[in-house]
Structure 1
Amino acid sequence: MSYEYSEDGMVEEAAEEALTELGWKVVTAWKNEDFGKDSLLGREDRSEVVLTRELRHALVTLNPDL
């Protein structure tokens, strides 16, 4: 990850390392996000804070009979 030296960058890098160690998939979308149904995160615009595509997949996986 190549950020300029900043407090935000340091915090984000530490959080990413901790989450990766816990087995989370970390996606850096700061400059790579596009929008639409087939976009990187599946958001229509920046105002969507719940990643419904990922949430729906998790719910179906955890509750296949519902």
Structure 2
Amino acid sequence: MPRNQKAHTPLQIMSYAFALMFRNKSMYMDMILGNNELSFAKDTYYRFMKSISINWIRFTTLLAANI
């Protein structure tokens, strides 16, 4: 990894995704309005959300059951 890039935890990206959901915004609109200074690139967010190694159905089912 080049020196000028930072490693981001999945927790940071996931907490940002949840914040977007509860504010009823998309990442695009959040970037356009300049409301949030991201510490990661939009490609990092989209790559995380499209990851095939994450079972999103299981995750949301377990989350709903715990809530």
TM-score after normalising by structure 2: 0.29
**Higher helix share goes to which structure?**
2
Larger RCO, structure (CA 8 Å, separation 6 or more):
2
TM-score after normalising by structure 1: 0.29
